[in-house]
Structure 1
Amino acid sequence: MTRFHDFRLPALEGGEIDFSQWRGRPVLIVNTASECGFTKQYEGLQKLWREMGHSTPDGLIILGVPSNDFGKQEPGNAQQISQFCQRRYGVSFPLAARSVVRGTEAIPLFKWLAKEGGFLSLPRWNFYKYLIDRQGRLHRWFTPLTDPQSPRLLEEIRRVSQKHA
């Protein structure tokens, strides 16, 4: 049985992202795209990363997973995606290589998320958000309509960020 901390993904800028390094930390996974109406959510995600993530050794991890699955809104190569995210939104949280996130060709991570979250959790557009608790369980998922700075999402992040969670 595959568990969250067993996954590895190619990183956008080369190398590999090994999820085992995130044991004991909450993780927010977001399927992203550079040419989407929700792309401005990168701002809120970066703010979360600055305020709740990288500044503490057990803080929130944010993982962006660029995908071209919806409306062909992530057509760029790795360098173009990286430059766009950094220049336009100052993104410094981890980004995986562009990946398929839906259907039979979906990467194993998104197949696992679908299994854990059920049919309704399948991403039907860019910027679905999946909140993983400190134990590596899917805690809750959110549609693109939930902004990264929404009180609802922030409350759930606080809930899974508590040490006893």
Structure 2
Amino acid sequence: MKEYTEDELKYKAEAYCSTAEHCPSEVISKLNLWGADDVVTEHILEHLKKERYLDTQRFCKAFVRDKYRFARWGRMKIAQALRQKQLSSEDIAAGLDEIDETEYCENLKELLRQKSKTVSGKNEYERNTKLIRFAVGRGFTVDEVLRYIKQKDPDEFMD
């Protein structure tokens, strides 16, 4: 494995952070992979933060937007993923504030609508239990799911 100087590592880290939003734990992993020691890693992280290559709040906001829009995750799953990335509660909360409530509810309704077409059960209770389990696995709370499951017409998950 090639050994890099601190400047080379700094440039590699800048390039890595320029391509997409990353959190500090991801950058630390990359630096460790490239052979940086703890002192060098700390210097590079400070530099990246100072030059705004690395911004945890910006990362959280982008992560949340991508996950609820494209992956259609619920708040619980998004928050858990951000906690696994060792981000602060304040940054996670700021990211979750980015969620557009109307779009979020539409995502949940559409997920339930699609899943209800493929879910079968002996009775309505069993079918609804499967739908709830599915949506909770996607990171939505039971309360959020029940708001739509309890409606009479399964084809129209509306408020």
TM-score tier (shorter): under 0.3
Larger radius of gyration: 2
Query: Whose RCO is larger (CA < 8 A, sep 6+)?
Result: 1
Give me the TM-score of the superposition, normalised by structure 1. Answer: 0.23
Tell me the TM-score normalised to structure 2 length.
0.24
Structure with higher helix content: 2
More strand by share: 1
